[in-house]
Amino acid sequence: TPPTVKPLDKLGFAAVAKSLEDKVSVPAGYSFSVIYALGDPLRAATADYKNDGSDTDYENRAGDHHDGMEWFGLSADGKPSTTAADRGLLGMNHEATTDEKLSSFFLHANGGTSTLPRPASEVDKELAIHGVSVVEVKKAGDGKWSYVKDSAFNYRLTTLTEMEISGPARGNKLLVTKYSPTGTKTRGTLNNCGTGKTPWGTLLTGEENWAGYFTRSSTDDAARGNDKSVAALKRYGRSQGAASRHGWESAGSEDKYVRWNNSKLGSSADGSDDYRNEMNAQGYIVEIDAYDKSKLAKKRTALGRFAHESAAFGTPVVGKPLAAYMGDDSRGEYIYKFVSAANWDAADANPANRMAAGDKYLDSGKLYVAKFASDGSGQWIELALSNSAIAGYSAYAFADQGDICVNTRLAADAVGATKMDRPEWCSVNPANGEIYFALTNNSNRRVEPSSSSQMAPDSANPRVYTDVKGGSSNQTGNPNGHILRIKEGSAGSTATSFTWDVYLFGAESTAAAGSINLSSLTSDQDLSSPDGLVFSPSTGICWIQTDDGAYTDVTNCMMLAAIPGQVGDGAKKTLSYTKADGSALNVDTYVGKAPTADTLKRFLVGPKDCEITGLCETPDGKAIFVNIQHPGEGTAMANIGDPSKYSSQWPSNAGYGAGKRPRSATIVITKNDGGRIGS
Ligand code: FEO
Ligand code: CA
Ligand code: CA
Ligand code: CA
């Protein structure tokens, strides 16, 4: 039985001050410790991490750029448990790697090779540090948490791990490759960012910025006969001839390298002798059984293909379909909802075969995209060929539902969905079922758009202003982001209409109250660029994590705790802009009730050049796990030999591990009096 939600009615800690120090700050009365960092071994046979560029065997180590993370409890005898609070598995994303000029330079002795071709020895490390890890953690008798190096549960999924294609796009011709001529399998998961946990106890991981890892020849268009894959490539932010992020395709003739080249290299008509379709196998929500490494992960194509973040389920209701909410994190992209065809059966909360439950709920259903109206309402529009706007779309001819699942952005364009300010994580408030979306920022929002990539303010994305840092660092658009929330109509998970408001606008506390700091944030509450957003099932706290470039002249990235109200608890507000010709542009929006000192406070500030992302907790709410991603990201590759020039030396300066190269890491936070976190 899941823990009963006993929401806190106020936050009990003293706010943490903004900080530029190279350390983790938590409130008085709380402690943290580092438990799992880049390179930590996941089996006894793998050597301790030297952190000097000489390490290998990354398939058996923690990956890089720790991101979204979920808790999977274990009983004392090693069985899945929803109540265990002192032993469990962390299912964790390893999104990317700190890089410059192709090379993941902290992994290589001399910073690595920044020209093509890349050496296979370097690329093999980089292929292995992306993906997911499952790692056992436990609390000792003295209350100290650590990861279990030799646990039989530990495992890695990397860019090369075999996975199933599942759902409507399984077997589609868009997924035919030399590796899987039937279009039913692929290798690896890539750029895993947000996570989710299913009601039946599996891990969901969202593939985000995967597109940049592939390359396709600039002359390939003619070789393929100008097929519609060119329109698809462009819609996912890529162009023919653009270099791949790491040049992995250059490292040799083996398929594990060649697959990153999506040019037409073979002579087949269907792509079964090359990797022209390989990119179509990335960009999904992937389901993983954290408890059972023998099960193949499954790419759940019914949930669409885009720059996925988290996947958050609405509260399951017996006998009703499940709803899963998702965002597409790119400027001007969309918010989505998947509704299962199957009705929820409480017996599936603890199924004998977890991946079979995934087949039941995640492979068939309806995919919707959100359209927000200026009166505070909104609609979910189904993405299906039965919609004439999709069937008759002039920019792309959809062949079947599988094509819609692969080219979801194009289908959402066809129905005129609302272009959002970069939807990052979403999470569902356990107190009332409302869905919160972090809209992190959007540098392309303009009062008067001057190119096709720019967009005018609308009610759900109403702010346009300039955040002044000086010189070229000034940022125009919506530099600080906001958090929007949705209340479903009376049909609940299957509702096709909803109401919404903006829970919180990010802003510096000193910014203009009437136009920028619309939520009246104080210096204990101010934030920029909300990204990670996770509700605690035990305390009801909404944890807000930042990935910011606009406020980093004043503070490192942070995490705040919030106890929000509900949609409609605030007021309508009209923002007025003046166009170049002197005419007015008025935008109505809906601003949630301003937080108080008891309902929003800064809880943590991270070390230099990090982002705070990913959070899970023990079911008793007494320990939370948080990821510190890419500390020291601003280090120049040329300074790899001189630790004094690393922009961060965390976590070695916190006493963790060998070497001074900065490392992404998981920390655990506990309250010194043993109470619930945030109380
Ligand atoms: Fe990986 Fe959109 O953050
Ligand atoms: Ca993110
Ligand atoms: Ca981000
Ligand atoms: Ca990041």
Q: Which of 460, 608, 615 is nearest to 545 (CA)?
A: 615
Q: Which of 163, 257, 244, 153 is nearest to 205 (CA)?
A: 163
Contact present, 463 and 482 (Cβ < 8 Å): yes
Ligand closest in space to the Cα of 441: 3
pLDDT of 6 over the 80 cut: no
pLDDT tens, position by position, 448-469: 999 999 999 999 999 999 987 7
The residue whose CA has the least distance to atom 3 of ligand 1 is 193
CB atoms within 10 A of CB 255: 15
Contact present, 662 and 106 (Cβ < 8 Å): yes
Q: Which of 205, 203, 162, 200 is nearest to 184 (CA)?
A: 162
| C-beta of 95 in contact with ligand 1 (< 6 A) | yes
pLDDT tens, position by position, 52-109: 999 999 999 999 999 999 999 999 999 999 999 999 999 999 999 999 999 999 999 9
Ligand closest in space to the Cα of 425: 2
Using CA atoms, how far apart are residues 130 and 179, in angstroms rounded to an integer?
A: 20
Using CA atoms, how far apart are residues 327 and 427, in angstroms rounded to an integer?
A: 11
Q: Which two tokens stand for residue 343?
A: 């009705």
pLDDT at residue number 221:
86
DSSP H helical ranges for 152-213: none
| C-beta of 190 in contact with ligand 1 (< 6 A) | no
Using CA atoms, how far apart are residues 421 and 425, in angstroms rounded to an integer?
A: 12
Is the backbone peptide bond immediately before 117 cis, with ω within 30 degrees of 0? Answer: yes
pLDDT band, very low/low/confident/very high, at 5 (cuts 50, 70, 90) = low
**Backbone region of residue 362 per phi and psi (left: phi > 0; alpha: psi in -120 to 50; beta: other values):** alpha
Closest ligand 1 atom number to CA of residue 208: 1
Of 224-238, 399-413, 516-530, 632-646, which gets the smallest average pLDDT? 224-238
Quote the ligand 4 centre to 552 CA distance (angstroms): 15
| C-beta of 309 in contact with ligand 1 (< 6 A) | yes
pLDDT of 244 over the 80 cut: yes
Mean pLDDT of the 166-187 span: 98
| C-beta of 424 in contact with ligand 1 (< 6 A) | yes
Using CA atoms, how far apart are residues 168 and 403, in angstroms rounded to an integer?
A: 9
b/e 461-485 (16+ beta carbons within 10 angstroms → b): bbbbbebebeeeeebebbbbbbbbb
pLDDT at residue number 474:
86
Across-strand partners of 135? 90
| C-beta of 611 in contact with ligand 1 (< 6 A) | no
- What is the complex's ipTM, to 2 decimals? 0.93
Q: Which of 497, 166, 151 is nearest to 337 (CA)?
A: 497
pLDDT of 1 over the 50 cut: no
The residue whose CA has the least distance to atom 1 of ligand 1 is 193
Q: What is the dihedral of CA 173, 177, 179, 180, to 10 degrees?
A: 10
| C-beta of 548 in contact with ligand 1 (< 6 A) | no
Residue position matching structure tokens 């300074």: 639
Ligand closest in space to the Cα of 193: 1
Using CA atoms, how far apart are residues 604 and 545, in angstroms rounded to an integer?
A: 9
pLDDT of 545 over the 90 cut: yes
Quote the ligand 1 centre to 48 CA distance (angstroms): 30
Is the backbone peptide bond immediately before 651 cis, with ω within 30 degrees of 0? Answer: yes
Backbone Cα Rg of the chain: 24
Q: How many angstroms separate the most distant Cα atoms in the chain?
A: 72
Quote the ligand 3 centre to 624 CA distance (angstroms): 21
pLDDT tens, position by position, 496-521: 999 999 999 999 999 999 999 999 99
Using CA atoms, how far apart are residues 364 and 368, in angstroms rounded to an integer?
A: 13
Residue position matching structure tokens 């709410």: 621
CA distances from 223 to 81, 267, 335 (A): 54, 10, 35
Contact present, 447 and 464 (Cβ < 8 Å): yes
Task: Please give the angle made by the CA atoms of 660, 190 and 274, to the nearest 5 degrees.
Answer: 125
Q: Which of 123, 88, 85 is nearest to 247 (CA)?
A: 123
| C-beta of 193 in contact with ligand 1 (< 6 A) | yes
Using CA atoms, how far apart are residues 288 and 166, in angstroms rounded to an integer?
A: 12
Q: Which two tokens stand for residue 286?
A: 């992937």
Quote the ligand 2 centre to 613 CA distance (angstroms): 7
Contact present, 257 and 249 (Cβ < 8 Å): yes
Residue 606: CB partners within 8 Å, gap ≥ 6?
24, 556, 557, 558, 559, 612, 628, 631
Taken in order 428, 433, 434, 435, the sign of the CA dihedral is positive
**Helix (DSSP H) and strand (DSSP E) numbers for the chain:** 8, 32
Contact present, 585 and 639 (Cβ < 8 Å): no
CA distances from 464 to 471, 480, 481, 583, 622 (A): 19, 10, 10, 16, 40
Q: Which of 208, 212, 226, 350 is nearest to 284 (CA)?
A: 208
pLDDT at residue number 226:
74
| C-beta of 467 in contact with ligand 1 (< 6 A) | no
In whole numbers, what is the pLDDT of the chain averaged over residues? 97
Quote the ligand 2 centre to 567 CA distance (angstroms): 24
Quote the distance between the C-alpha of residue 356 and its chain's center: 25
Quote the ligand 2 centre to 610 CA distance (angstroms): 12
Using CA atoms, how far apart are residues 185 and 256, in angstroms rounded to an integer?
A: 15
pLDDT of 3 over the 70 cut: no
Helix (H) / strand (E) containing 207: strand 203-207
Quote the ligand 1 centre to 308 CA distance (angstroms): 8
Q: What are phi and psi of 129, to 5 degrees?
A: -85, -5
Across-strand partners of 369? 336, 381
Contact present, 557 and 546 (Cβ < 8 Å): yes
pLDDT of 4 over the 90 cut: no
CA distances from 578 to 18, 77, 573 (A): 34, 66, 17
Using CA atoms, how far apart are residues 425 and 441, in angstroms rounded to an integer?
A: 13
pLDDT tens, position by position, 14-44: 999 999 999 999 999 999 999 999 999 999 9
Contact present, 311 and 324 (Cβ < 8 Å): yes
- β-pairing, 321-328 vs 335-343, is antiparallel
Q: What is the DSSP string of 574-633?
A: EEEEE-TTS-EEEEEEEEPPPP-TTTEEEEEE--TT-EEEEEEE-TTSSEEEEEEE-TTT
pLDDT tens, position by position, 258-281: 999 999 999 999 999 999 999 999
Contact present, 68 and 195 (Cβ < 8 Å): yes
pLDDT at residue number 666:
99
Across-strand partners of 61? 41
Q: Which two tokens stand for residue 111?
A: 């910073």
Q: Which two tokens stand for residue 122?
A: 């370097």
Q: Which two tokens stand for residue 184?
A: 């039913």
Contact present, 620 and 647 (Cβ < 8 Å): no
Residue position matching structure tokens 């293909």: 305
